[in-house]
Structure formats: C-alpha cells, structure tokens
Chain A
C-alpha cells in the first residue's frame, strides 16, 4: 500500500513539475553575445558572376570587379571590420494587466534588451496595433495623463498619477530611453497604427552600446462606466540597427 501511495504521489506531482519548469521568463544576461568574423554567404544569380567580395576597408567601388561581376557586396559595419549579430529580447510578451478595477490603476512590466557587440547604434520603436478593446469594440482610450499642464502625447511623457485620469499608456526606465520619462510617474500613450500614427522611439543610442536594457511599464486605469469585458491589444516593438 505504501508503495502505491508513493507511486500515486510521484505520478501526480511529476506533470505539475514538468509543466511549471518552462513557465518562468528566462533571466536576461549579457554573457551570450559574441563577436563573429565575417561569414556571410553569397552567390551571384548570373552564371558568370561566381566571385564575390566582402570589403574589409572603406572605399569606392572596385571598378574591375564591378564591371566583371555586376555587383559589389559589403556585409556588416565596415568600420568595425567584423560582422556582429544584432540581438533583441523581450522578457515577457504576455503582459497581463489583471482584472481591471475602476479608478484603480493596473500596471505590468516587461524588459527590453539590445545586444550589439561594440557596434552601437540602434533604435527600438513601439506602436499599438489598435487601442485596448474588447471583441465587441468597447475601447479603453489612450491616456492623456493627468491633463492640463500634464497632458501627455505620443512624443511627450507627462505625469499620470491621478486615479481619475483614465486610459492606457506606458512608461520607460533604463538605458537609452527618451529623456522625458523623468521618473516612474511619467507616461505616454502608444501611437496607434489604426490611426496612422508613426511609431514612437522608445530606445535609441548613437553611441557604442553592448548590452542595453530598459523596462516598459504598461498602465491602465478605467472609469466606473467602462463596460466589462476582456480588453486586448498588441504592441509591436521593432528593433533595428542603424545604417
């Protein structure tokens, strides 16, 4: 009987343990980026264009080569003499704001990280694919923050601390974030793709940066007359290196 109890206990707990193992966000660390030497593979479409060149210095078009092959290719950043992969991470893509209670702000965070060896210049932009809304199109509007002098926009963060200021927005902290996010009370609304708004730059650096990390705080506060429902949206974070 004892054996059966042990067996049942193990049988019941094993799937739970297996289930819970991958449910944690992987800690972001800086130990995984690496410098790589140039290794881009390339092949000409023209049968006579079998040769290629990966330039290791800056210069004009190689005239002889250009006339024979019809193209010259340079991969990576020439001033670095190497090809460094560009890496972008989001610690959690499922940003759960929980059960929304009127006049009680809900927040959730996720971390963004950019790894770029020593190559530096990059940008991360953000845009919402539409406002927070239910399937029946009830909408939580984008925040305007506290209003008055503290009216924020897609490009300017302002204080959003009032429990009677309703909407959905985000704040930023960490490396390379816009300077108008002065502290944790400063928020902006996301630009809305359905309103043809341009994406907002949320991280950028013209300087050399290896492991740049920031935290995005999502915040929503609903009014007492907000209809009940599951409010959803998708935020698109686009990370690109410079040119």
Chain B
C-alpha cells in the first residue's frame, strides 16, 4: 500500500512538471468579438438622458476587455472615420452596469456576452449641433514571450454613435451635389465623354453636407438612352456627417425595360476603385444620367445630370482593319 502511495505521489509530481513545462510554450490566442448595434443615431434635446443597451460577444478565447468612448470625424468621402485620441465634446457618457466602468478591464469568457448599459446625457444649455463618438471595446494584449522577438496584437472593436442635439427638433439640411459624372472614357469635345459600347461605365455621385446636422440622402439615379432605354437605380440611404461629403452609392431599383434594339444596361456596386454605380451592357448613342435626391420631409430636393456617348469603337476598328487588309490583299493579287 505504501509503495502504491509513493508511486502515485511520483506520478503526480511528474504530471505537474509536464503541465508547468507546457505553460512555457507560446500559445495561439484567438480574439473574436462582436458588438451590436453597430450604429446608433440619437436625436436629443439638451437636458435629456437616455440609456442604450449594447451587446458585446466573445467568440474567441477568454479575454480581458476595456471599454472607452472617443470622438471621431469623417476621414474621407468614402465613409471611413478617424478616431480622435482624446475625448472632447459636451455629451456625457457613463455606464449603468454595477460592475463595469470605463477603462477598468473586465473578463469575458468564451461564447459569453456582456450587456453594456450606456447612459448618454446631454447637459442643459448646449448649443445645437452634431457630435460623433465611437464606443470601443479593446482586448488586453497577451503576456509576452521572453527571449524572442514578438509583437502582441490588441483587438479593438467599435460601434459608432451619432448624436444630434436640437432644442427645437429642427435640423439643418444644406446639401449640395459636388460631383456627378462618369469616370474614365475620353473627351472628344469639352465636357462630353465617349466610351466604347462594351466598357463598364463608372459613375461618381458625391454629396456635400454644408449644414450642421447629419443628412440622409434618398432618391434615384436614372439612366436614359436615346432609343428609349431607361433604368432606375435606388440611392442607398447612408448618413452624411455635418460639414463633410460622401460618395453616394446606388443599386438597381426596378428591372430595366429596354426597347429599340439596345442592350439592357445593368449595374453593380461591387467594384474597385469605388464608384457610386457601375453600368455595364452594350451601349450605343447618347445617354443621359440624372439624379434626384431628397433628405426627408420638408427638405429641399436637389438635382444633377450628366451625359455620355458610347460607340462600338473597338468593333469598328476591327472591321476597318479587316477591310484594309482585304483591300490590300486584293490590290496585291491584282498587281501580280
């Protein structure tokens, strides 16, 4: 019996050694975080406060997380953002969770979620205007391995918060179309673009927001051909931040109807480099593109238009080349 106990103790010691030796090995640590909602738009009066519940999920390995709020601004006209390094603005944020505070790490197990009760408070006597923030959840990087070169990755996931403060409930809508034109092609005449019939025609529509509040465009881009072809594309209603501009995208609204022997134009928005709309098909003759954009009830409607010509230059070139070759061959035969 004594012998057995000694053997068990030795085995226990050895197994402990193996376990601890194993802990020196650098382990892969996966991070996978999800946050919902990904966007919050809040129109609020000064002096009011609300509480919004977010859900933060951990689909990766167990990790410590930190919560913070930072302001952001538009980085470009493609919808990207630049998060500012320090907090600013009059909006006050706090957490209603008893066990959570900003910048205090908390632990989240694998496949667990944490409800974040975010309180947003607007002090009294704040000037009307827009303020943009991102709620960020960042992981604490893993401990480093000694004796080797290593980079440790910190994962941060964010959800944007767009706050419009208005005492009256009125918002300022000052939109302007800054670019509405086709991209590429070539200009034979001033401001008249020509494309080959088989080209994919990229269209850029950029709307500037000159006001102090967010606007949301809604409307259509319509393509009309000289032979009666037409197609309508629905503008995707994305936010344009105050005093910024954004390229607006459109997608097919109604299946186009074509007649007069022209090919049916189609559209896509999955392209590189980015464009509002890419028209593809077989185009012949003059085409006009027009857009009508609204920004909600009682707001101005803005219009824009552009046009382009398309001819089968490549096919014509091929035909002319073939004719020239045939003429040359015939001439040569006659001379012989």
Contacts and interface: CB of A to CB of B under 8 A. Distances in A.
Interface of A: 4, 7-8, 11-12, 14-16, 19-20, 22-26, 28, 32, 36, 40-46, 49, 52, 58-61, 63, 66-67, 70-79, 83-100, 106, 108, 110, 113, 115-116, 119, 121, 123, 128-129, 132, 140, 168, 179, 198-199, 201, 204, 206-208, 218, 220, 230-243
B296 A58 contact: yes
B148 A8 contact: no
A77 B241 CA distance: 15
A19 B19 contact: yes
Given A231-B150, A238-B138, 10 more contacts: A8-B7, A41-B52, A61-B170, A71-B42, A86-B34, A91-B30, A94-B28, A119-B38, A230-B144, A243-B162
B299 A60 contact: yes
Interface string B28-53: 11111111111111111101111111
Contacts of B152: 93-95, 232-235
B148 A99 contact: yes
B59 interface: yes
A124 B211 CA distance: 29
A24 B26 CA distance: 11
B18 A12 contact: yes
Contacts, number: 323
Interface stretch (B181-189, B222-230, B231-239, B284-292): B231-239
Interface string B106-142: 0000000000000101000000000010101011011
B43 A72 contact: yes
A215 B277 CA distance: 29
A85 B59 CA distance: 12
Interface in B266-304: 269-272, 274, 296-299
A178 to B, nearest CB: 11
Contact of A73 (B40, B297, B299): B40
Contacts of A121: 79, 238
B335 to A, nearest CB: 52
Contacts of B171: 60-61
A78 to B, nearest CB: 6
B247 to A, nearest CB: 7
Which applies to chain B's interface (DSSP): helix, strand, loop or mixed?
mixed
A117 to B, nearest CB: 9
A49 B81 contact: no
Interface string B158-177: 11101000100111000000
14 contacts: A19-B22, A23-B28, A26-B60, A66-B43, A73-B52, A76-B38, A76-B39, A96-B145, A99-B149, A204-B80, A206-B78, A230-B144, A231-B150, A236-B138
What 10 A-B pairs have minimum CB-CB distances, sorted nearest first?
A: A45-B49, A41-B53, A85-B36, A240-B158, A87-B34, A97-B149, A86-B38, A89-B32, A242-B79, A25-B28
Contacts of A243: 39, 79, 81, 132, 160, 162, 238-239, 241
